[in-house]
Amino acid sequence: MRKRSKCAFLATAMAATTILAAGCGNSASGGQNTADSAERVPIRWLTTGDAAAEAIQDNDRIIEAINEKLGIDLTVEIVPEANTEKVNVAMASGDFPDVVTGAYGTSATQQWIDDGMVIPLNDYMDSFPSMKAWLENYEWSAQNGKYYGMPFIAQYSVANTLIVMRQDWLDNLGLSYPQTLDEMKDVMLAFTNDDPDGDGQNNTYGYTAEKPGQFDWVFFAYGLPYADYSLDENDQVIPVFEDPAFVKGMTYIKELWDAGTIDPELMLNDMSKKEEKFYQGKAGMMPAPLFRHVTRHENSVRELFPDASICYDLSPAGPDGARGLSKQGKSGMMTCITAACKNPDKAAAFVDFMVSEEGNNLLRLGIEGIHYTKDGDEIVFNEEERAKDAFSPNGWAHALAWGSFYWPLESNYIPVTDPNRERALHTVDLATQCQVPNLIKQKTQVEIENGAAVDDIYTQYFSDMLQGKLSIEEGVEQLSKSWRSQGGEEILEAVNAEYQKTKAKQ
């Protein structure tokens, strides 16, 4: 009788106390012999993985290489659709894995810590240098001096969003990519009124986006200093809409709205609708992630407009030269060792390996001579062999690489064989120059609990001011009262305490 596979996908329906796992096959993982398998320490890892990754099959040679290196017998359980809530359900059932990856900075993962479901990693740091270096880079994530997991914050130190424009429209109108807010207004008006596509019809908008957050570049250009909060004259934390930059920025946005340059369905758009309007030539610009998406955006536009091209640059500067676009990240994933783990030393070794240079190379390149070869400094991928072991095509990494410890952007990874590699990396450089830091590095518990409610309040008042239901001054005044009275005051109290504590350490 053959052994159960070492890779499993959790069933979508989970009983309250039981996790159902369906194997990826029925043969022994990695093909190791029974004696070797018996000597290895079993490590069960529950993770969201990456919804876009390839499925891990039985006998995966990368998992076997990890097993061989560490003397473990790794079982990977990946929840469907990279759904972090299903990880929370699994943990609540009491059927604990040895290692678990969940969403960072949420009430659920905080509960793991509060209830003693995961252990501090401090005792293992001196033995595992890659783990230690990683945690020291996120020193602020410790709670009372203890690190309860390996945080992985999306877009913490890099960014990939820029305002993408139709270069051919700019060329048709004799314009260049706008460098200032005034130039941006001129381009948006021209894209709306001057027939940039040359079809003789008045059927284009300057700008399409998704809801309020994609106008942050305006507020940053008017001098908003932080991505999350601001400070008043007494050095106390205030919401961004109470900063003087907000009224200036909102006035600018309202002028563009009244001039008809902004997609009128702004508040109804999601990412796919926004992109569709850009690809179909209904709008001449949109804020969008680039990096590995540059080619996708350009090719999508060219499906209808074969001669089209796109362009991007730094976000426009305000009157005093300030600029910004992307907010520094506070959210991501966290990988922990559970209190139920019988071999925490081995679990720590596994976590350390996954963030080490050796582990990185294994997950990105594979095994030399099997998944790739070297010709001098050139890497040559064997795509046929890589496909057998859950590597994504065209030089992209193994399924274990992304979503748990890394994403391509955070590790600045583009396959060396990608023909648009330099162009993609250039977009990251530009976008990172436009990234705006946070006043507070991580969310407070009160923010986690009340954040969604106060965000909805902000969205509603932004819409009312934009559409003229309230004047900007009246809207900001009412927004401030409503936001503060419905959870915002408690958030500010907690954030201000964190800010003052951080400032005292400096």
Mean pLDDT, the chain, integer: 89
Provide the percentage of residues in the chain whose pLDDT is more than 70: 90
3-state secondary structure of 255: helix
pLDDT-based confidence at residue 301 (cuts at 50, 70, 90): very high
* 303 shares a domain with 242: yes
DSSP state for residue 261 in the 8-state scheme: -
* pLDDT (tens digit per residue) in 251-287: 999 999 999 999 999 999 999 999 999 999 999 999 9
* Average pLDDT estimate for 328-337: 92
- The verdict on residue 404 lying in a domain is no
DSSP secondary structure string for all residues of 399-467: TTTBTTTB-TTTTT---TT-TTHHHHHHHHHHHHHTEE--SSSS--HHHHHHHHHHHHHHHHHHHHHHT
* 135 shares a domain with 183: no
- The verdict on residue 429 lying in a domain is no
* CA 64/CA 367 separation, integer angstroms: 11
* pLDDT (tens digit per residue) in 85-136: 889 998 999 889 999 999 998 888 999 999 999 999 999 999 999 999 999 9
- The verdict on residue 400 lying in a domain is no
* 305 shares a domain with 278: yes
* 269 shares a domain with 140: no
**Domain CATH number, residue 99:** 3.40.190.10
Chain centre to alpha carbon of residue 307:
32
Q: What is the pLDDT of residue 377?
A: 84
* 140 shares a domain with 42: yes
* 219 shares a domain with 177: yes
Q: What is the pLDDT of residue 244?
A: 98
Provide the percentage of residues in the chain whose pLDDT is more than 90: 70
End-to-end CA distance of the chain: 63
- The verdict on residue 396 lying in a domain is no
Q: What is the pLDDT of residue 55?
A: 84
Q: Which has the minimum average pLDDT: 161-170, 230-239, 371-380, 394-403?
A: 394-403
Q: What is the pLDDT of residue 7?
A: 43
- The verdict on residue 474 lying in a domain is yes
- The verdict on residue 129 lying in a domain is yes
pLDDT-based confidence at residue 18 (cuts at 50, 70, 90): very low
* 97 shares a domain with 169: no
Q: How many domains does the chain have?
A: 2
| Of 376, 396, 400, nearest in space to 387 by CA | 396
> Whose structure tokens read 């601001």?
230
pLDDT-based confidence at residue 20 (cuts at 50, 70, 90): very low
* 306 shares a domain with 187: yes
pLDDT-based confidence at residue 9 (cuts at 50, 70, 90): very low
pLDDT-based confidence at residue 36 (cuts at 50, 70, 90): low
* 318 shares a domain with 449: yes
pLDDT at 13 > cutoff 60: no
* 312 shares a domain with 182: yes
* 167 shares a domain with 136: no
**Which residue range(s) make up the domain with 316?**
161-324+437-505
* 486 shares a domain with 457: yes
- The verdict on residue 360 lying in a domain is yes
3-state secondary structure of 35: helix
- The verdict on residue 414 lying in a domain is no
